[in-house]
Amino acid sequence: MDLSFSPQEEAFRQEVRDFIAEASPLLPKNLGTPEQARRSKDEYLVWHRLLYKRGWVAPAWPKELGGAGWSVTERYIFATETAKAGMPTTLPFGLGMVGPVIYTFGNEAQKKKFLPRILSGEDWWCQGYSEPGAGSDLASLRCRAVRDGDHYIVDGQKTWTTLAQYADWIFCLVRTDPNAKPQEGISFLLIDMTSPGITIKPIIVLDGAREVNEVFFDAVKVPAENLVGEENKGWTYAKFLLAHERSGLASALRSRAALMRLKAIARKEQLDGQPLVRDPDFARKLSALEADLMALEFTELRILSREAKGGKIGAESSMLKVVGSEILQRISDLAMEAVGYYALPHDLSLGDNEAIGPDYARGLASRYFNQRKVSIYGGSNEIQRNIIAKAVLGL
Amino acid sequence: MDFSFSEEQTLLRNSLSRYLADRYAFEDWRKFTRAGEGRDPAHWRQFAEMGLFAAPLPEAVGGLGGGAIEIMVVMEEFGRALAVEPFVSTVVIGGGLLAKSGGALAEEWLPKIAGGETVMAFAFAEAQGRFNLADLATTAKKQGDGYVLQGQKSVVLAAPWADQLIVTARTGGSQRETQGVSIFLVDKKGKGVSSRDYAVTSGLRASDVIFENAPARLIGEEGMALPLLEVIVDRAIAAHLAEATGAIAMLMNATVEYAKTRKQFGQPIGKFQALQHRIVDMYIAQEQAQSASLMANLKLDEPDGARTASAAKAALGKYARAVAEGAVQVHGGIGMTDELNVGHYFKRLVLLETLYGSPDHHLRRMAKLDQ
């Protein structure tokens, strides 16, 4: 056993740090502030474009398709350094979701048409999975696509579609065989968001931001060439994508950065004339949280090392999601507790009370409320536990 | 032993809950909390007419001679409706302090409180003080036959609607000393008072208030107010605990109903054991919360009233959070939306958990009172 990195890996780390130092001044000023959730399309894309220029935008993609060509360890170093420096993350919908589906299951024409535009950021993708009646039970989805000559006609509704208001394309799970078993009649379709018959309706969430949307399809004509893989085999691709979505390593690193911010707040806040961080009750809660986080960091490293040796990540990603989401929620909770009464004016759904209380209190209540989503989305934590029970423990 | 309500108390609850159902529905609430001054003043007048404000006040000053139970009944219903009216700061804090200290000030203001002619906000918190009622940098000094105030108060709930402020300040002693704390009544629109008004979570409004030589009238005894302050804040805590149980009841109803009707995998999600156990834990928390509220309210005048109030505040904070977070989780994505009332009850319970001290603060106070 050995926890150290090789000299080459350390040199790579320095390269990443240099890049971050150059990129930081070019990033939007509102990063890390409450307005972050209200970024414009362009603000979202600044980091993406900088990485693209450097050839680093797609760490996990194969090199010949425009990936960074990094080892698993280099990917981890990159994630560590960017998280530590508080850099944004690229959005997962193109790079982490539909991209891998297209290069794994799509045809040559689709790869040529879509992959370069995902890398460059020219196309913004959103995810058409959940429906009002199909959440945890995704396979019960009803949005229909009927083949009509060289087109499909799509009718139905998707929901919880993150940032659909900016999207150029949506990848959708649609039902193409209503008579088959639920999982066997689903196809994976790429739909141009400018197609006639698509309407988007915003959903405002607890922090007041328009983070998600409903997307309606009314007789939307989709060229048959936009079908990925085989008709009625979409569930296989959907599961592949979900596993990719969940394998987001380095959630512990993001939590580590959030914990550092929380500690900084606890050093500034007062309790009976002392810094809050010295209050035994608060200090104990901080330590308990950090102990769980440190264990999670090592759990991530163990999975990483297994992956580096060519192992496949399966249900471990469900475990990372459960632990990682609960830690994120606890950090947001303690941060809100740390600022006491001045948490209360900082519910952004009421507008930004910028000048009220200490500047670090801004957005903390909103973040706590918003973080409730992390145990719900991407497969609720109940579903993740079901997966572990079945796939890992054989229960 | 008898936990049942009197006929008058039941009547009070029924008439209030009918009014709230008719005139204070969630859709109305959404509208008036988000527009203009953030409330509909007509409700305040109606509540006065219904006798809500008079109910707990002594008969000698125009009250109906009730007490903690009447306040509890009102606050449970207010909690169910997410009410924003500053009943507690006006009637429980203002009315309570004035009734206990008596004198000309009480004679002048108690009838106005009973009649709904005044709105009072309680300015006690300071940025450095956290939840310690005695940690005060605001000072008062004698001037003529009154006092003038100097200092700043944080997150004064309902201050934008108030005509009077009840303000804690030091007339002596050092910053966190027991001695030297006094309580004042200050004309909100008077000279030397300025404020920055803003919205706070779950539909309330508040202000940061600055006093610069603001004229103030002393309530009770100079420098000796901390014990009285603690007694009255415990009453406010008990009232807000009742409010929390109202909000918890609404979340429980919504969650059970949703679990019965929302279908996934071919059956109501309430049939899944993982969710059943979570919802059962929420139910147990609800029952424990109800007990905590009752014990705080019933024991206010007992020797262990203060310790009981702290115990109830700490315990109920934990139960409320379990119910609120559980309600959102069981609802899934829809529980995350601004459109559904679930998130707003959740936010109110988070606010109530902080108000007058976090669970940690009250656990420490409990331990101290045991020594």
Rounded Cα gap, residues A328 and A257, in angstroms: 11
| Contacts of A220 by beta carbon, 8 Å cutoff, 6+ apart | A153, A154, A155, A191, A195, A196, A197, A198
- Return the number of other C-beta atoms located less than 10 Å from residue B31's C-beta: 11
Q: Least CB-CB distance to A135: which of B325, B333, B347? A: B333
Helix (H) and strand (E) counts in chain B = 12, 9
Q: Which two tokens stand for residue A36?
A: 């972050």
Task: Collapse the DSSP code of A247 into the 3-class scheme (helix H, G, I; strand E, B; otherwise coil) and give the result.
Answer: coil
Burial A124-156 (b: 16+ CB within 10 A, else e): bbbbbbbbeebbbbbbbbebbbeeeeebbbbbb
User: In tens digits, what is the pLDDT along chain B, a chain of 371 residues?
Assistant: 888 999 999 999 999 999 999 999 999 999 999 999 999 999 999 999 999 999 999 898 888 888 999 999 999 999 999 999 999 999 999 999 999 999 999 999 999 999 999 999 999 999 999 999 999 999 999 999 999 999 999 999 999 999 999 999 999 999 999 999 999 999 999 999 999 999 999 999 999 999 999 999 999 999 999 999 999 999 999 999 999 999 999 999 999 999 999 999 999 999 999 999 999 999 999 999 999 999 999 999 999 999 999 999 999 999 999 999 999 999 999 999 999 999 999 999 999 999 999 999 999 999 999 87
> Which residue bears the tokens 């796939």?
A391
H or E element, residue A252: helix A251-268
DSSP A92-121: HIIIIIIHHHHHHHS-HHHHHHHHHHHHHT
- HSE at residue B87, side-chain half, CA atoms within 13 A, is 33
| Contacts of B1 by beta carbon, 8 Å cutoff, 6+ apart | none
Chain B residue closest in CA terms to A162: B333
Partner B contacted by A272 (CB < 8 A): yes
**Cβ(B97)–Cβ(B228) under 8 Å?**
yes
Give first-to-last CA distance, chain A, whole Å.
Answer: 32
Rounded Cα gap, residues B61 and B104, in angstroms: 12
For A25, phi then psi, to 5°, come to -65, -20
Rounded Cα gap, residues B207 and B272, in angstroms: 46
Q: Give me chain A's average pLDDT, please.
A: 92
H or E element, residue B212: strand B204-219
pTM, full prediction: 0.95
| pLDDT at A40 (0 to 100) | 87
Rounded Cα gap, residues A59 and A51, in angstroms: 10
Distance from CA of B324 to the nearest CA of A (A): 11
Q: Does the model's ipTM exceed the 0.90 cut? A: yes
| pLDDT at B72 (0 to 100) | 97
Chain A residue closest in CA terms to B329: A376
- Tell me the pairing of strands A169-175 and A125-128: parallel
Q: Which two tokens stand for residue B260?
A: 């019965």
Task: Return the amino acid letter for A216.
Answer: F
**Cβ(A288)–Cβ(A213) under 8 Å?**
no
Distance from CA of B337 to the nearest CA of A (A): 4
Query: pLDDT tens for residues A275-284?
Result: 999 999 999 9
- Tell me the pairing of strands B263-264 and A151-158: unpaired
Q: Which of B174, B198, B337, B340 to mutate to test the interface with A (most CBs of A within 10 A)?
A: B198
Task: Collapse the DSSP code of B115 into the 3-class scheme (helix H, G, I; strand E, B; otherwise coil) and give the result.
Answer: coil
**Cβ(B338)–Cβ(A349) under 8 Å?**
yes
Query: pLDDT tens for residues A238-273?
Result: 988 877 665 555 578 889 989 999 999 999 999 999
| Contacts of B35 by beta carbon, 8 Å cutoff, 6+ apart | none
Average pLDDT over residues A47-76: 93
Average pLDDT over residues A28-36: 70
Q: How many residues does chain A have?
A: 395
Average pLDDT over residues A317-346: 94
Q: Which two tokens stand for residue B295?
A: 């014990």
From residue B82, alpha-carbon distances to A135, A285, B77 in Å are 29, 31, 9
**Residue, of A218 and A210, whose pLDDT is higher:** A218
Label residue A292 left, alpha or beta by phi (over 0 means left) and psi (-120 to 50 means alpha): alpha
Identify all chain B residues contacting A345, using CB atoms and an 8 Å cutoff.
Answer: 155, 198-201, 206
Identify all chain A residues contacting B129, using CB atoms and an 8 Å cutoff.
Answer: 270
Identify all chain A residues contacting B354, using CB atoms and an 8 Å cutoff.
Answer: 337, 340-341, 343-344
Query: pLDDT tens for residues B51-69?
Result: 999 999 989 888 888 899 9
What secondary structure letter does DSSP report for A357? S
Chain B residue closest in CA terms to A380: B332
Q: A 308-347 residues with CB below 8 A of B?
A: 336-337, 340-347
Task: Collapse the DSSP code of B124 into the 3-class scheme (helix H, G, I; strand E, B; otherwise coil) and give the result.
Answer: coil
Rounded Cα gap, residues B232 and B120, in angstroms: 15
Rounded Cα gap, residues B285 and B244, in angstroms: 12
